[in-house]
Structure formats: structure tokens, C-alpha cells
Amino acid sequence: DGEMERRVVAIILKHLEDTGTDVKQQAVRTIASLARKVQQPQLEEIADKLATHILNKTDEEKRDIGSIGLKTLVGVLTQQTAPAVLKRVTPKLQQGIAMEAEVAHYCLEILNDLLKSFGMIMSRDLASIQSGILPMLSSPVAATRKRVSTCVASLAICAPDQLFVTLIGSIFNNIEASRNADQIRTYIQTIAGISRSVGHRLGRELKRIIPLFMSFCEDDKYKEDTEMLENCLQAFESFVLRCPKEIGPHLDSIIATGIAFIKHDPNYADEEDEDEDLMDEDEPEDEFSDDGDYSGDDDNSWKVRTAAVKCLGAVIRTRPEMLTQLYERVLPVLMARFREREEIVKMEVFSAFKDLLRQSQGSADVVDAMDEDPPSLGRSSASVLRMLDVDRVVKVVLKQLKDKSFKTKEKCLELLRELIAVLNGGLGAYLNALIPDMERAIDKAAKTSLKVEALTCLCALLEKHPGADFTQHVTKLGPAVIASVSDCNYKISAVALRVCGRLTLCTLNGKPLLAASNPFVLNMYTAVFSRLSSQDQDLEVKEAAIVTTGQIVSTLGDVLGPENLNSCLPVMLERLRNETTRVTSLKALSTIARSELKIDVSSISSDAVLECSSFLRKNDRGLKQAALTTLTDLVASYSGSISAPLYQSVARELAALVTDAELHLTHLVLQLCVCMVRCAPQATTPLVQQFVLPRSLLLLQSPLLQGPARASLRSLFATLAASAVPGCGFQQLLDELLGVVKAAPAPLSRQSLSSIAQCISSLCGAVPPEQRTQTLQGFIAQLSDPGAPEQAKLLLLHAVGEIGKGFDLSGFALEKVLMAALLEGSEDTKAAASLALGSLAMGATRQFLPYILQQVAAQTEIRYLLLQALRQLITLKTAEEGKGSSEGGDRMGGELPRVLELLMGQCGAEDEGVRSMVAECLGRLGLICPAEVLPRLQELVKQEHALTRATAVYALKFTITDKAPMAELAGCIADFLALIRDGEIVVRKAALTALNSSAHNKPPLIRPVLSSDWLLPALYGETAYKKELVRTVNLGPFQHKVDDGAELRKLALACMDTLLDKSADKLDTSLFLQHLQARLSDELDDIKQAAYQLLSKLAVREPFCVREVLDLVSEPLQAVLSKRPKESASPQDIERHNELQRSAIQTVVVLHKMPESSTCLKFQAMYDGILQDAKLKALVDSVSTDADGTAPPMPPP
């Protein structure tokens, strides 16, 4: 009702002028509710009234009410309701900023809120606002200058490019022209504020700004102007964080400036040499001594030092590629400033030092700088140790640990934890010096936070130095740690319990450290048991008590004695029955069961097994996993104390868990069954046969069976056959396995047949040779029977091959049977026979390999299948233990030269399948004997025949795996990757594939090549769309365009994606982005999708770099999102179009989550348009819900 709205609004506005303060405040609060509901005329009236109050020169109370009300109103406005309010408010605010300072301050605050929230729809007023507020930067009133500076930073977000250039130019000219220090400081603050708001827009001006700011820092006139220096350093920090691309050339000077001003303390006489500060840790320090000759409340130089440390910290956090330089230049300065007299500054120094250590932990550049041998590159704590003077760091930290400030002590302990993590220990030599300070830190009188940090640090020390001698420290630390276990603060208690557990696990000369410390062990146990048995305590303490009890009992159970064990175990069982602690209790029971002490748990074993079996029915995957692991450990250690009914109860529950839907659980179930059959064959074999075996045979029909689950199933069949329990013998199990094929409702997949064959092989390996021979003879007879079903033959071929992997079957004359299958069988039979032949050669290489080579040369029709057999043999050989180039030839039965000659001769074959098989054989041979193979491949890459070159470089993909011969590859990798510049498409494809494999599996191998001036430009060149690679194919009445360069672009994007993951520090992000942008508008949808996904990943890793081009990338995204399929489009075309739009929306969501993405006007306008489109908004909601806006994985090329 419009009339009712007007009346209500009028009454509320009238109450704004009420004499009662409470009434006015309540009226202001009501405005927020009204603004969401009333129509535009009433909204304008409210805004107009509030703005009028702000302009009141005489009544400060009215100005306050108007300001609060208008801020409340702005907070509830939307993009739809804001224009009406802005129309009424903006002119009055512009009028107000020209009035007295008191009024101007209110107007500037409101204007700042409007610009931040609705600047994009204030475009008509931005120029006049800018011209109105810029002169106020030179106001004599400091409060005015501060508000104007903030307002200008908000204006910069929404200012069009031309207006922004004018804004920066005006400020810059004013800085150069001004001689007033207050004004210069304000201008510097304003530039820093603009940088924090829209650093990507300011970046291009840094080449003018930074030299000017540096001149202020170096000018003697300002050397004691604390505020000026602080503002300059804060601006440098902002530039480092917000302008990552443009700041690069200026980083050296910024680091030098930060180092200079981190020592800025003109009122403090400190002429000591830095090294003299490293006093011996045994030298006492006077708690009441003064660190200098000056102390004064008016000294603000600490602000400059704080800003300098923060500036250096920004460089440390954002420039991991400069780590070597930072270690050399910044690390010594930070350590010297540990003696800083102002605690605020000292805390920042500690934080910067901690950031530097963290960068060491996560950067490969430290290793790159220190290791001379490129193939050995890796993240190594030894490399950090060589660059970091640990001895000096520890001495400096030890001195600070004696400081009277508990905050300083906390920070020192944090640093020690970080150092332990980076070095993976490395402080064993300093234990005698560190422990006394930790003892004081966990004293009863210490503060809670200090205690927690000290105990956490002690826990890290114990964890990372398990073999160190802590014997003498147990006596000193023990009482304090035990007292902390009983502390009323749950954090202290929980960490202290973990320390007890770590002490329990420490060893000395292979024996438990505490084995001989009976009094301490009993006292510790008493304290821990008190926590274990208590009901009313935090869950974290309960879980820590359970874990620690398990560690104490398993390691020191013989010291505790039967009485303590008998009191402890029932409580553990009680915790096992509690829903909140049962998983932790299961793990503790497993720890006890695995103990070498063979702890007597007979008092609870039956109940524990029963509880565990009941957990298997719960709908909690983690609980079931823990229960299965615990049952396996209990059966392995206490099988004799578990009754037959208990075994039956367990077996019943296991049957339902054998399924291909949860292969990890299936693996754990089968492992438990193996353990049961081994430990109690008579009692459990019939149960396994009754409950688990039928489900296992059904599982064998699944094509999903693989990995640990299949290995456990093989182990189960072998264990059952070896148990020799009547009714479950070899022949019966074999018949059941062979019967799986007959029982299957449809022909089984190759994967299923292979799984059954592996189980048959395991069965045959568990029986005497005579029985195995008899079985094989039966298999051969069936394979020779032309009337045998094809599925049965396929299974037998797989089975013979699996058996032949481990046994010499050369005496069974299998060559004829396999050749007949290769020549006359179906495609599936041929493939199975090929794999079987290669597997047979594994068990009898000297007999079968010459035969394979002979047939490859003679049988041209089945050459591909015979090469597949050779590949199978080579693949199996590479999986053998004890690899080495010296024995490679022997492992190939002395036939390596013949194998190489044969494969080299087939590199240029016209059949692509043959070439692929040859490349894989050569690549895998390179793992066995790299010294012989890699030089031959190098020769091939220089051949004139393009197919030969392509095969040679493609072979590298199969050599560069986790087991790659790094030393040999390091010398030749550049020769192979140079083919990325080859003139033939097929060769470039192979080179890109090899590059992707190298970048993924062995990044250190290609790091030197990435630094060259040809590899990355060549890679980026392959991302370009090339018209000369597009050809037209005539299809009768139709013409079809074929893009031969599409595969190259896909492979190039895949390489870029891998390099971004593995070697990001070697990439120029701006150049990377430049080439990626072009692919956002590619002709092909799947390449667009790959580019979207890569852009999403880059946005997560380098948000500030992506933000610089956000407006540019929004254009191709907008084109895809605004496109609609044709009315005549097929369902497949519509589905592809929807998938492309969904991929684009995923990217938009990720980009929108970047910091300050709303400052990019074109992108924000596109995003607002998406939210107004019902279909696209639904996609945004779906993507945000499903993936939380994270970058999706890149599909394989």
C-alpha cells in the first residue's frame, strides 16, 4: 500500500528529530528494515532526509544521526535499488565535502562507502568527485587528508582507464611539486592505498613511483621523519604484494632499503658488532639490564623498523625464486635483529624469519642452488642445512629463550619447530643447550600459551630425533611433563600426553629409552592412566590419553607389571565401546597387539573381537577400516585365545564387505582372512570357505578388481591351498576358479580373466612341482582341443602366462599352441596368446626370447602381436628388483644386441601401431640398460626419416618414469626435446609427449633445459592456431575441415599445465598467461575447455597476475556464455555446448573468488550479468556446490 508506506516513512523520519536520544537511535535502526521493503519514492525520501541531516552545520547530533542512518542504508542497498538513492545523495555529498571540515568528514566517509559498493554505477559522477576531492589531499587538517586518501583509493577501483591515468598523474605531479612534508606523506599514503585496492592498474606506473619514493628514503632531510619513512616502506610492501609482475626490476633496491631501515634507530646507541651479540649460551644475562643507552616514550623509530621487516617479509613470501639471494642478504640481518629492543618489531622479525624457513621447506630452488649434479635435484633438508648456518641460528635463538618476555620465548619455540620441520630433525647436537630452556618454559608458573608451545616443540624434537640420547633429560623434564599431563587446561594436558607417548617410543641402541627408568615409567603411567580413566574431560585429551596408553603398554608393558595391565585393559575396552573414542581405541589396541612384548590381553581379547566384529556392520567407512586392521593384528598375535564361535561371528560379518564397490575394504577383509587361515587353519578355513570364498569368486567376475585387493585375493587362494585342510584342497579351489567362467552370465572382460588367471598362478605356486606339472598338461590339452569354448581357452592362455612368469615352462612345448592361437584365433585369443608368450619368456628368457625374435623377423602378418609379446617381457623385466645398466644385457638372456637391431629396424614402419609398440619396447629397454639404449636413440633422432625421429623421441616417454636412469638421461635430454622445433607434425607431437612425461615424472631433469632460450618459446609457439595446418577434405557433397594442429595445441596446453604444477618457478607467468589467453578463443571447444581449466589453476596459484588480465579474459568467456545453440542443433551438439558453458562457469567462479576481482569492471559486469540470467545462475550455484569453485583437474590430451 503506497499511502501506508508514505505515512510510515514520514513518521520514522520525524522521529529522527525527536528530543529523546533512544527514540532517534531506534528510528535509525528501523531504516534498514524499511529500506528493504519500501518502494523507490520512499527510498529516495529517506536518503534525501538523511543526507540533509549530514549537511547541518550547527547540530552535530543531527549529523551523527544522518551519518549512521545513511551508512545503514548503504549497507542494505542492492544494485537495483542503489541508483535511486545515488541520484539524491551524491550531489549533496559533493556539496558537503566543500563545506567545513566537520561536515566534510561525514560526507567523505559516506562517499567512500558508496564508491566501494556502487562505484560502477556512479560512472557519470566519478570525474566530478575526483576533481572535488583531489585538492583536499593538501588540506591542512590531518583527519581530512586521511579520509580523502581512503576515498581516492576506493575511487581508483571504479575509475575508467583515462580517469585513472589522470588521477595517478595528478597525484604524482603534486608529490614532485610539493615541499610540505605532511602533504608528501599523504600523497605516499594515497599511492599505497591505491596499490592495495587496484595494484594491477598501478603496476605500469611503478617505474616512475619507486625511484621517487626511494629518493625520499635516501634524502637526509627526511632521515628523522619517521612517518615519511614508514609510509614509503608500507608502499613498497604493497607494491611487492599487489604488483608482482612490474615490481621485479625494483626488488633489489627494495630489499636493500628494507635491510637499511630494519636497523633504523637514531636514538639508540648500538655500536656492537653483530657477531659479538652471539654470547655464549652459558653466559648469564641480567634480566634487568637495558639493551641500549636510550629509552623514551616519544621514540617512534620502531614504526620504521616494523615497516621495513614487513616489506622484507612480503618479498620472502612472494618470491620463492629469490630464496638463494634472500638467504645471503636477508637472513643474517634478520638474525642480528633478534636483539631488537621493541617487542612489536621483534615479533615481526620472528615472523619474517619463520616465513623464510617455510619457503625453504617448499622450494626446490634451494636445492637447485646447492646441488651441482642436476639429476640429483630434489627437496633435501641437507641442502637447506648447507645454506643455513644452523649453529648460529640456534645460538641466537638460545639467547632469546632467556629473554624475560614470554612472547619472545613463544616465538623462539615456534622458530625451533619450523627449523626442525625444515631440517627433518638436525638439532640433535643442541639438545643439551635446548632442554633446560624448555624445562623452564613448561614449569608450573609459566603461562599457558608458552607451556603449550614448549611441549609442542619438545614433541617435535622427540619425533624427529628418535635415536638421540634423551636419558639425562628425562630426569629433568619428567616431573614437569607429568605435572602438565594433570593440568586443568585441556591443551596443555593433550600435548603433554603426546610428549609422554613420544618419550615412550624413543630408543637408545635399539632398546626403549625408558626401559630402565622404572620410577619415572610408573609415575608417567599413573598420570596417563588417571586421564584415561577420567570421564569428564575434553575429547582431545581423551584421545591423546588412549593413544599414549597404547604406546606405553606396547613398549613398556613388561615394566608396568600385571597389576597395572589388569587395571588398564578393561578401561581400554570401555573406551572401545564409546562411540566418540572407539576409532582411537581401535588404533591403540592394534599398537598393543603388534608389540614385540606379546602383552597378555586375554582378559579383554574376546570382548574386543566381538566389539570389532559389530563395528563391521556400521555405516562408517573409517570405523570399518580401523576395525579390520585391529582384528588382523589381534588374530596374528592372539589367535589361540579366540574361540571358534568368535571366528564364526567375524566371518559372517566379513562376507558382506567383499565387493568391488569398496576395494580397499575388500583388501583389508582378505588380509584378515589370510591371517586367520595362517594362524588358525583348522578353525577358520571352513569358515572362510563357507562365507568369504563365494563372494570372492563373484568378485573375480568384476573388471574393477585390481591392485592390493587382487593381490590379497591371490594370497588368500595360495594360503588356502597351502593349509591342507580337508575339503579345501588345491583341486577343489582350481575347479572353482575355472568354474567362474562357466558361471558368469556373460563373457568376462580381459581384466576379469587376468584376475582369475593370477589366482590360478598363485594356487599353482603353492603346491608341489608334480601337481603343477599335471595341471599344466591338462591346460595344454584343453588349449589344443578345437572344440573347447573360447572363454575357457582365453582363461587358460592367461593362466599359462601367469604361471610362466615365475616358472620355467620351456619343457612343455607351448610354442606350437601359442603360434596356432596367434595365427588362427579370434582377436581376443591372439591378444591373450601374445601376452602369454611374453610372460613365458620371463620365466625362461634364454629359451623363449630367441624364438620371439625369430618369429618377429619371419611372421610379418602378426608382427604387431609378436612385438606385443616382446613388450610384455621387457615390461616384466623392468619391474624386477636389482636393476642396473651393467647387468641389463644378462637380464635379456644375452640377446640385447639382437633385440636392439630388430627394434631399430622397425622404427620407421608405416604401421602406427607397430611404431608405438617399438617405441615402448625401446623406452622400457632404456630402464634396463640405459648405457646401451640411449646412445642408439640419440642416433635415431638425427635420421632423415620423420617417422624414425618420432619413434625415437616417443620412446623417451617410457624411459622417464619413477625409475628413470637420471645420470644417463641428463646428458641427452636436450637432444630429444630439441625435436619440438622439428618441421614435421608427427615428430613435434612425439616431442611434446616426451616433454610432458619428463615434466611430470622427473621435473629436475628438464629444469636446466627450461632455462634455455628455445624450449619455452617453442612450446608456446605450438599453442598458436595455424591456418596452414587446416586442410579441407571433400566428403561427396560436403566439405569437412581437418585441423592437423589441434592435437599439437592440446599437447602444448597439457605440457603447460604440467610445468605449472611441477616447475612453476621456471615460468614467466605473464608470458604464460599471454599465450594461454589466445586459446580461450580457440576454434575447438575441447581446447577452450583445457584453457579454462588451466586458467582456473593459475588463478589459484597466481591470483594477482591473473587479475591484471581479468578484464581481457572476460571477453572470450562472455562470448561462450552468451552463445545459444541453433534451433536445428542435434542433442549431441546441445550437450557439448552445455558442457562448454559449464566449464566456462567453473572458471568464472574461480576467477571471482580471487582477491579484489570486483575491482576489474568488465569482469564484474559480466559476473553480474551471469547472476541475472536464470540458466547461468543455476550453473553458478551448481558449480559452487559441487566443487566449491576449485580448479578442476586437467583432462589428458
Q: What is the pLDDT of residues 879-898, one digit of tens each?
A: 875 444 345 556 787 889 99
State mean pLDDT over 168-193: 90
State the DSSP H helix or E strand holding residue 175, giving kind and residue range, or none if neither.
helix 161-177
Q: Residue 742: its pLDDT value, please?
A: 87
Cβ atoms of 149 and 194 within 8 Å: the answer is no
CA distance 258 to 264: 10
How many whole angstroms from its chain centre is CA 583? 27
Instruction: Report CA torsion sign: 933, 939, 942, 944.
Output: negative
pLDDT value at 849 more than 80:
yes
Q: Residue 1194: its pLDDT value, please?
A: 44
Q: Mean pLDDT, the chain, as a whole number?
A: 87
State mean pLDDT over 344-353: 94
pLDDT value at 543 more than 90:
yes
The DSSP code for 688 is I
Taking the C-alpha atoms of 213, 215, 221 and 222 in order, what is their torsion angle to the nearest 10 degrees? Answer: 30
Q: Residue 375: its pLDDT value, please?
A: 32
Please report which confidence band the pLDDT of residue 642 belongs to, taking 50, 70 and 90 as the band edges: very high
Q: Residue 524: its pLDDT value, please?
A: 92
pLDDT value at 618 more than 90:
yes
Q: Residue 291: its pLDDT value, please?
A: 45
Q: Residue 446: its pLDDT value, please?
A: 84
pLDDT value at 548 more than 50:
yes
- The CA distances from residue 635 to 10, 349, 571, 649, in Å, are 82, 55, 21, 14
State mean pLDDT over 765-790: 91
Q: Residue 220: its pLDDT value, please?
A: 87
Q: What residues contact residue 664 under an 8 Å CB cut-off, 6+ apart?
A: 625, 708, 709
State mean pLDDT over 89-113: 90
CA distance 91 to 95: 6
Cβ atoms of 532 and 549 within 8 Å: the answer is yes
Q: Residue 280: its pLDDT value, please?
A: 44
Q: Residue 515: its pLDDT value, please?
A: 73
Rounded to the nearest 5 degrees, what angle is found at the Cα of 697, between the Cα atoms of 692 and 702?
A: 120
Q: Residue 370: its pLDDT value, please?
A: 29
Q: Residue 1192: its pLDDT value, please?
A: 45
Rounded to the nearest 5 degrees, what angle is found at the Cα of 940, between the Cα atoms of 936 and 945?
A: 160
Q: Residue 288: its pLDDT value, please?
A: 34
- Strands (E) across 1044-1122 are located at none
Q: Residue 1105: its pLDDT value, please?
A: 82
Cβ atoms of 573 and 549 within 8 Å: the answer is no
pLDDT value at 571 more than 90:
yes
Choose the weakest-confidence range: 259-263, 355-359, 684-688, 698-702.
355-359
pLDDT value at 367 more than 70:
no
φ/ψ (deg, to 5) at 573: -65, -40
Q: Residue 651: its pLDDT value, please?
A: 94
State mean pLDDT over 465-476: 82
Percent of the chain with pLDDT over 90: 52
Closest by CA to 950, choosing from 914, 902, 924, 926, is: 914
CA distance 695 to 692: 5
Please report which confidence band the pLDDT of residue 279 belongs to, taking 50, 70 and 90 as the band edges: very low
In this structure, how many other beta carbons lie within 10 angstroms of the beta carbon of residue 1178?
11
Please report which confidence band the pLDDT of residue 661 belongs to, taking 50, 70 and 90 as the band edges: very high
pLDDT value at 373 more than 80:
no
pLDDT value at 114 more than 50:
yes
pLDDT tens for 822-837 read 988 889 999 999 999 9
State mean pLDDT over 621-649: 94
pLDDT tens for 663-678 read 999 999 999 999 999 9
Choose the weakest-confidence range: 68-82, 174-188, 294-308, 1130-1144.
294-308
How many whole angstroms from its chain centre is CA 455? 28
CA distance 1132 to 1150: 27
State mean pLDDT over 1077-1090: 92
pLDDT value at 566 more than 50:
yes
CA distance 633 to 862: 52
Q: Residue 1190: its pLDDT value, please?
A: 47
pLDDT value at 1168 more than 70:
yes
State mean pLDDT over 458-475: 85
Grid cell, residue 397, equals 635463538
Choose the weakest-confidence range: 415-429, 505-519, 628-642, 954-968.
505-519
Choose the weakest-confidence range: 219-228, 834-843, 990-999.
219-228
Cβ atoms of 13 and 46 within 8 Å: the answer is yes
Q: What residues contact residue 1053 under an 8 Å CB cut-off, 6+ apart?
A: 1023, 1076, 1079, 1087, 1090, 1091, 1094, 1194, 1197
pLDDT tens for 984-1026 read 999 999 999 999 999 999 999 998 999 888 999 999 999 999 8
State mean pLDDT over 242-259: 91
State mean pLDDT over 1170-1187: 84
In this structure, how many other beta carbons lie within 10 angstroms of the beta carbon of residue 417?
20
The DSSP code for 1068 is -
Q: Residue 39: its pLDDT value, please?
A: 84
pLDDT tens for 796-817 read 999 999 999 999 998 888 989 9
CA distance 479 to 477: 6
State the DSSP H helix or E strand holding residue 1119, giving kind and residue range, or none if neither.
helix 1110-1122
Percent of the chain with pLDDT over 70: 93
Please report which confidence band the pLDDT of residue 270 belongs to, taking 50, 70 and 90 as the band edges: low
- Among 170-179, 196-205, 398-407, 571-580, top mean pLDDT goes to 571-580
pLDDT value at 1118 more than 60:
yes
Query: By CB neighbour count within 10 A (0-12 exposed, 13-18 middle, 19+ buried), where does 275 fall?
Result: exposed
pLDDT value at 18 more than 80:
no
Rounded to the nearest 5 degrees, what angle is found at the Cα of 1006, between the Cα atoms of 1002 and 1009?
A: 180
State mean pLDDT over 170-185: 89
Please report which confidence band the pLDDT of residue 384 belongs to, taking 50, 70 and 90 as the band edges: low
pLDDT value at 11 more than 50:
yes
State mean pLDDT over 686-707: 94
Query: By CB neighbour count within 10 A (0-12 exposed, 13-18 middle, 19+ buried), where does 969 fall?
Result: buried
Q: What residues contact residue 514 under an 8 Å CB cut-off, 6+ apart?
A: 474, 503, 504, 506, 520, 521, 524, 555, 556, 559
Q: Residue 282: its pLDDT value, please?
A: 44
Q: Residue 385: its pLDDT value, please?
A: 61
CA distance 201 to 186: 20
Closest by CA to 476, choosing from 458, 494, 502, is: 458
Q: Residue 979: its pLDDT value, please?
A: 94
pLDDT value at 1188 more than 80:
no
pLDDT tens for 451-461 read 999 999 999 99
| Residue bearing the bigger pLDDT, 742 or 257 | 257
Cβ atoms of 653 and 609 within 8 Å: the answer is no
Q: Which residue has the cell 599465450?
A: 1075
Strand partners, 512: 507
In this structure, how many other beta carbons lie within 10 angstroms of the beta carbon of residue 1137?
17
pLDDT tens for 36-76 read 888 888 888 888 888 888 888 888 888 888 888 888 888 88
